[in-house]
Amino acid sequence: MDNSEVEYDDDLADYTPSPDEFQNEVQSIASLCERFNRRYNHCPIFFMDSLQEACQIAFNKPMIKDRKPVLVYIHHDKTLLSHIFCSNILCCNSIIKYLNENYIVWPWDISSESNRTKLKEIWKEIFSDQFPCFFSYQQCPMLIGIMQRPTGEKGWLISSEYKYESLVEWNMLTRSSWKLNRETLKKELIIFKKEFDDNEQNLSYNFIRKTGLCWDVILEIAQYLYVNDAVNMFSSEILPFLHRYKARLHLFEPSYEFNKMIFRTFNPEQIVSLCLRTIRYLPMIDLPSLAIFTEIISLTLLNPLDIEQINEYVKYFSKLNYLTLYYDDEVDLYSLNTSIRQLSIQIKRIKIHCTTVIPRPYYNRPLKMTDTNTTIEHFDISIGRFLLNFKNNRLYNPNLSCLKKLFDLMLSMENVRHIRVVINEYHFEQMLYENEWKRLVEKCSKLKTLTFEMIGNMLEGNQFRTKLLEIKNKIYDWNSTINFRIIIV
């Protein structure tokens, strides 16, 4: 672009300095947009949010034809070429029309050093794997095109899902070294848009070809996996598609680096389920960082220490109603009972997994039944599900059996409607006490379903099966509305 190719009227320029500081990207862009409309009467539609958000909206439409590349315009008020470019090229009707139909334009003004520093930070956050850009005023005006990274360039060592290319610097097209004018810019924009469209087609085609599965099947599988597992199974290429189809996702122990990678592609609001490993006897993880997940309805805690720690996690998720407590070792009944009684009122469903319930001498006395939980409607507990070789440790004395006292735990939920108990064969006979079942049925008046599931073979003959059927008939006599199911696996 030289003075023989453009005309420049100095009266068009408004040299009002731009503010040095803005609280966020939106304010900075709004200020630039206002100045452009005042100086040049009109300009392309600028995207009024962060660059990260621009990329997500541009690349994550369900239909490929609706996706657009992102065009970053970098402006400097103190360079004459920037004003010539805006007045005679960027803000002319033909360029504005093409950009509005085919690109998302994200502008940034680096007239102040603080804004230039801010842009470098934004760039590093999004393109951390690439060489840094210095954004010198001598390069302005600058146009940079952004697209999704092609399949062949992806990998775990590359943290950014996006790729950028410089299209314009100063008065020249970067890739072709052509002089900059309206016609050459329009051609370059058309070429980059074609490259973007081809890349989007290839991304979709290559992913389906590699998996050998159609999209309906892939999305059906992904909804039952943690995002971590989905990435391991299908590669990180699945992330943009999960966003496009607004999949509800599950996340396991999110680390800072993993979050940084996935949240370039989709929103934290898509995460509806979290699994977190609590830290025993050490300060807890940075819990306030969990507040980014605003749509969590299900939470799994691994080895929580006590009810105080459980409620400390729960309070960060206002929509949470389903809690799973997973203990990879034994847990005592008193702790479970205390947790149930003092649990946050928002929890409607609770699931407990533990290797075994262990007795403690000072827990053998009856637990005080002063407070009850009135909000839990679904209760599911699995004891010894993955440890089936405890035959030598079986507890025959029902007065000492924690499994017998499990009924006290269930009785603490006075409004429970659905109960499922899973045990292994070596503890089976201790569940065959008619009076305990009667106490449960009479106390929990809203109970609708009771599911009793045993893992393993019944090696003692048919006497236990007969006893179970007797209990089932008794439950029907006590409350005919309860559906009592027996499952032997």
184 confidence band (pLDDT: 50, 70, 90): very high
Distance between CA atoms of residues 288 and 292, nearest Å: 8
Average pLDDT estimate for 300-317: 87
CB 420 within 8 A of CB 381: yes
What residues does 421 pair with on adjacent strands? 381, 452
Specify the length of the chain in residues: 489
Q: Say if pTM beats, i.e. exceeds, 0.95.
A: no
Three-state SS letters, the chain: CCCCCCCCCHHHCCCCCCCCCCCCHHHHHHHHHHHHHHHHCCCCCECCCCHHHHHHHHHCCCCHHHCCCEEEEEECCCCHHHHHHHHHHHCCHHHHHHHHHHCEEEEEECCCHHHHHHHHHHHHHHCCCCCCCCCCHHHCCEEEEEEECCHHHCCCCCCCCEEEEEEEECCEECCCCCECCHHHHHHHHHHHHHHHHHHHHHHHHHHHHHHCCCHHHHHHHHCCCEHHHHHHHHCCCHHHHHHHCCCCEEEECCCHHHHHHHCCCCCHHHEEEEEEECCCCCCCCCHHHHHHCCCCCEEEEECCCCHHHHHHHHCCCCCCCEEEEEECCCEEHHHHHHHHHCCCCCCCEEEEEECCEECCHHHCCCCCCCCCECCCCEEEEEECCCCCCCHHHCCCCCCCCHHHHHHHHHHCECCCCEEEEEEEHHHHHHHCCHHHHHHHHHHCCCCCEEEEEEECCCCCCCHHHHHHHHHHHHHHHHCCCCEEEEEEC
Distance between CA atoms of residues 110 and 141, nearest Å: 10
User: Which single residue is written with the structure tokens 């749509």?
Assistant: 295
Q: Does the pLDDT at position 97 exceed 90? A: yes
Average pLDDT estimate for 253-278: 79
CB 241 within 8 A of CB 215: yes
The domain ranges of the chain are 10-205, 213-320, 325-330+343-489
CB 153 within 8 A of CB 165: no
70-75 and 142-148: which strand pairing?
A: antiparallel
- pLDDT (tens digit, 9 = 90+) per residue, 417-444? 999 998 877 666 667 778 888 889 988 9
Provide the pLDDT for residue 426: 64
Provide the pLDDT for residue 241: 75
Sign of CA dihedral 37, 39, 44, 49: negative
Average pLDDT estimate for 220-245: 77
Provide the pLDDT for residue 156: 40
**HSE-CB for 376 with a 13 A CA cutoff:** 27
Provide the pLDDT for residue 153: 61
36 confidence band (pLDDT: 50, 70, 90): very high
370 confidence band (pLDDT: 50, 70, 90): low
- pLDDT (tens digit, 9 = 90+) per residue, 112-160? 989 998 999 899 888 875 555 678 888 999 999 999 988 666 544 455 7
Q: Does the pLDDT at position 283 exceed 50? A: no
Provide the pLDDT for residue 418: 96
Provide the pLDDT for residue 392: 41
Provide the pLDDT for residue 330: 73
Provide the pLDDT for residue 468: 80
- pLDDT (tens digit, 9 = 90+) per residue, 241-250? 787 777 888 8
Distance between CA atoms of residues 257 and 236, nearest Å: 14
Inter-helix orientation angle 113-126/51-59, to 10°? 40
Provide the pLDDT for residue 8: 35
- pLDDT (tens digit, 9 = 90+) per residue, 433-474? 788 888 899 889 899 999 988 877 654 556 677 888 888 899
Provide the pLDDT for residue 22: 60
Provide the pLDDT for residue 67: 93
User: Which single residue is written with the structure tokens 């943690």?
Assistant: 226
277 confidence band (pLDDT: 50, 70, 90): confident
Lowest mean pLDDT among 228-232, 331-335, 384-388: 384-388
Average pLDDT estimate for 345-368: 69
Structure tokens given for 218: 């892939």
Inter-helix orientation angle 463-478/434-443, to 10°? 30
Q: What is the mean pLDDT of the chain?
A: 80
Q: In whole angstroms, what separates CA 122 from the centre of its chain?
A: 22
Average pLDDT estimate for 363-392: 64
Q: Does the pLDDT at position 400 exceed 50? A: no
Provide the pLDDT for residue 73: 97
289 confidence band (pLDDT: 50, 70, 90): confident
Write out the CATH class of domain 10-205.
Answer: alpha beta
Average pLDDT estimate for 73-95: 94
Lowest mean pLDDT among 89-93, 152-156, 306-310: 152-156
Provide the pLDDT for residue 217: 80
Provide the pLDDT for residue 393: 42
Provide the pLDDT for residue 273: 92
User: Which single residue is written with the structure tokens 């000492």?
Assistant: 400
Evaluate the omega torsion of the peptide bond into residue 359 and state whether it is cis, within 30 degrees of 0. Answer: no
Residue 397 buriedness (CB in 10 A; 0-12 / 13-18 / 19+): exposed
How many Cβ atoms are within 10 Å of 72's Cβ, its own excluded?
23
Q: Which of 6, 131, 141, 3 is nearest to 74 (CA)?
A: 141
